[in-house]
Amino acid sequence: MSKLRWRLLASGGVLFCGTAVAEPLRVCTVVWPPHTVVAADGRTVQGAHTETVSRAMQVAGYEMSIDAVSWERCMRDIAEGYYAAAYAASYRDDRAAYAVYPREPIDSVRYVAVVRKGEGKGWNSQRSYGALPQPISAPRAWAVTDDLRRYPSVRIEDSSTHNEQDIRKLLAGRVGSAILEARTARKLLAELDLAGRLEILDEPIQSDRKYYMIFSRKALGDEGARRMAERFSSALLKK
């Protein structure tokens, strides 16, 4: 879809032969259970965050076509205008340069460390991330991964694109810790760690991190992205 057609859609509809024709917004996300999951058909994106954004966009008057891709690709394609929107994105200044953030987040999350049982006794969030068993595995291009990379005592292993890969690397002994959102950690351990070899450390890595649906400035234009973000925020408050 051309940028002009995206922008017309952002303002309320695409004009075609004198009539308004709704075209679905192209949206990207990443596999992040239970927040976003891909159904058995291999195409349909489901999960709690998907339900939240789908409901709000419907209230706002927009239809969506959702692709689950790597987060690195999702952010690159949002910046380049291939996708009109993405979820769920934490706030970063570099992302705000190419995408508009709504006022309202879709969720607030807590990150935890997962380790092999008995190996995380030195961790205390008031001291140093270097106390976690190293290296630490987290998906490439995720904000939490880049946050941890700033600490000189931390060794990051970021070859994964989603959290299931991190848990499998931890079970195989290839990494010392894996960083996951708390609900994701509980779900994946229940599915993958049937022998009970892993544990979630009590003290969180990060708490109350807010996540948003963001709108591409390149695809929608600055004003169109801002208008869509405002409508989305208003629709979230109505749910």
**Averaged pLDDT of the chain:** 91
Q: Do 148 and 35 reside in the same domain of the chain?
A: no
pLDDT of residue 100: 98
For residues 171-199, average pLDDT: 98
Res 126 pLDDT > 80 = no
Q: What is the pLDDT of residue 124?
A: 79
What pLDDT is attached to residue 9? 57
**pLDDT tens for each residue of 8-67:** 555 554 433 334 445 899 999 999 999 999 999 989 999 999 999 999 999 999 999 999
- Please tell me whether residues 218 and 204 are part of one structural domain: no
Mean pLDDT of 177-205: 97
Residue 20, pLDDT score: 45
42 φ/ψ sector (left φ>0, alpha ψ -120 to 50, else beta):
left
Residues 6+ apart with CB under 8 A from 164: 31, 33, 188, 192
What is the count of structural domains for the chain? 2
Helix (H, G, I), strand (E, B) or coil at 45: strand
Element (H, E) at 5: helix 3-10
pLDDT at residue 238 is higher than 50: yes
Query: By the 8 A CB rule, do 146 and 113 touch?
Result: no
Pair 14, 75 in one domain: yes
- pTM for the model stands at 0.89
Same domain as 81, residue 156: no
Tell me: do 7 and 102 sit in the same domain. yes
Residue 123 predicted with pLDDT over 90? no
Q: Which domain holds residue 9?
A: 3-106+211-238
pLDDT at residue 132, rounded to an integer: 93
Give the distance, in angstroms, between the CA of residue 139 and the centroid of all CA atoms in the same chain: 11
The single residue listed with the structure tokens 């008031």 is 126
Same domain, yes or no: 98 and 136: no
pLDDT of res. 167: 98
Answer whether residue 176 shows pLDDT above 90. Answer: yes
Rounded CA separation 130/148 (Å): 10
Q: What is the CATH number of the domain that holds 40?
A: 3.40.190.10
Residues 68 and 38 in one domain: yes
Residue pLDDT, tens place only, 198-211: 999 999 999 999 99
pLDDT at 128: 80
Is the same domain home to 88 and 117? no
CA distance 68 to 61: 22
* Residue 4 pLDDT greater than 70, yes or no: no
Beta strands in 96-159 (DSSP E): 99-100, 107-116, 136-137, 156-157
For the packed helices 222-238 and 48-60, what is the interaxial angle rounded to 10 degrees?
110
Whether residues 90 and 14 share a domain: the answer is: yes
pLDDT at 239: 61
Residues 196 and 173 in one domain: yes
